[in-house]
Amino acid sequence: MKGTESSAREEKDGGTPSQRIDARIAELGDWRGETLAQVRAVVKAADPESVEEWKWRGVPVWEHDGILCTGETYKDKVKLTFARGASLADPSGLFNSGLDGGTRRAIDFHEGDAIDDKALKALFRAAVEANISARAAARTRKKPKGG
């Protein structure tokens, strides 16, 4: 039943989340679309099990045991916001936005910026591990005592 509801919603909303992200990339038709496409490829290479979603009136979202990051596009940047970014090691110094936030961190890509695929893959993998650990910790807390 749930699959039928999902299919009906997808038709009404203009397709699956992946199809909508494809459409957004094509619609942008400039460096922002190219950047979003490159980031998307890095996510899939870093975590083939990640799931693409389309939330908040048109924001690409990548999830694995919770939100990994969002990929928002603006006139002058593509912003990747990592849901647990403040808890992630960033040895390559990719985070350049939201640095004072207690939970999230972001990377703003501007026109002409190079993407360090290797460092970004490592950051995505760290985000996956953070989500898996948080989910496991939540399950442990919910286990009834004595059984």
pLDDT at 143 over 80: no
Q: How many CA atoms are closer than 13 Å to the CA of 10, on its beta-carbon side? A: 14
Read off the pLDDT of residues 51-84 as tens digits, 9 standing for 90 and up.
999 998 899 999 999 999 999 999 999 999 999 9
Strand arrangement of the beta sheet that strand 78-82 belongs to: 51-55, 59-63, 67-73, 78-82, 105-109
CA-to-CA separations, 122 to 60, 126, 128, in angstroms, rounded:
20, 6, 10
Residues in the chain, overall count:
147
Burial of 86 (0-12, 13-18, 19+ CB in 10 A): middle
Q: What is the pTM of this model?
A: 0.84
pLDDT category at 102 given cuts 50, 70, 90 is: confident
Q: What percent of the chain has pLDDT over 90?
A: 76
Q: What is the pLDDT of residue 99?
A: 87
CA-angle at 136, arms to 131 and 138, nearest 5°: 95
What is the rounded average pLDDT for all residues in the chain? 89
d(C-alpha 41, C-alpha 47), whole Å:
10
Give the count of beta carbons closer than 10 Å to the beta carbon of residue 95.
20
Q: Would you say 94 and 120 are in contact if contact means Cβ atoms under 8 Å apart?
A: yes
Quick: pLDDT tens for 20-63: 999 999 999 999 999 999 999 999 999 999 999 999 889 999 99
